[in-house]
Amino acid sequence: MTDLPANDGITVQISLDLTSIDEALAVADVAVRAGVQWLEAGTPLILAEGIRAIRALHDTFPAHPIVADLKIMDGGGLETDLAADAGASFVVVMSRATDATVRAVVRAARNRGIRVMADILGADDYRAEARRMEDLGADVVIAHLGFDERAEASRRSVFDFLPDVIAGTSLPVQAVGGIRLSDLPRLPGLGAPLVVVGAPLVISAEAFSPAVDLRTLGEILAELVQSLT
């Protein structure tokens, strides 16, 4: 089972919200060379390429934990098993799912020796939702401002509710959703040490495609990792 960092530990994860395995592997290679530790098989990648995208990342980068962003809403045990079979170290369940689904994901994950991230996208009460996910057995809570939410309300920020999420749980917290590169170093000090690099740096804000060329991405990621770790 993948170790989680201590309270003062920092982990950098890249979100591969792309639509082809070849493109995802190319971006992942740049990220790994820059020092990124965790690789996320993003939802668009899994939708476009299937579970085999998780397997491709695991087989190519066996030393790096793979996060399977399945956004599980039902069939939790079965979907967790699929991800585990493909080499995932983490699966993502949505907190909007029923308690039964979250419990099914947690049971399957424990049986398979992997961990559970609970995404509280769209919560009515972020503090209470973070606590609920911890009580149900999740290992990580994701404070998430969604792609469509950001498109409709560009002034909204995950920082608007991140303090409530952190106050609601003793679990490690990730904050994702349109965070600017310049704001990423703020996250560990606020209590969110699992730093995710995604849109708008890795992924365009308009499409599931790389935002910059690979050489530029590598330089930016290396500088970011160095500043964080």
pTM: 0.93
CATH of the domain at 158: 3.20.20.70
Structural domain of 88: 11-224
Residue-wise pLDDT for 39-75, tens only, equals: 999 999 999 999 999 999 999 999 999 999 999 999 9
Flag whether 3 is in a domain. Answer: no
* Strands of the chain, DSSP E: 11-16, 38-41, 66-72, 90-94, 115-119, 140-144, 173-176, 194-197
Those residues of the chain that have pLDDT short of 50 are: none
Q: At what angle do helices 21-34 and 52-60 cross, to 10 degrees?
A: 30
What pLDDT is recorded for position 208? 60
Letter for the amino acid at 62?
Answer: P
What pLDDT is recorded for position 182? 85
Nearest to 40 by CA among 22, 54, 55, 59: 54
Flag whether 104 is in a domain. Answer: yes
Into how many domains does the chain fold? 1
Flag whether 101 is in a domain. Answer: yes
Cβ proximity of 19 and 49 under 8 Å: yes
Flag whether 84 is in a domain. Answer: yes
Flag whether 152 is in a domain. Answer: yes
Structure token pair of residue 111: 């049986």
Flag whether 4 is in a domain. Answer: no
Nearest to 189 by CA among 10, 56, 36: 10
Flag whether 155 is in a domain. Answer: yes
Flag whether 115 is in a domain. Answer: yes
Number of helices followed by number of strands (H, E) in the chain: 10, 8
What pLDDT is recorded for position 111? 98
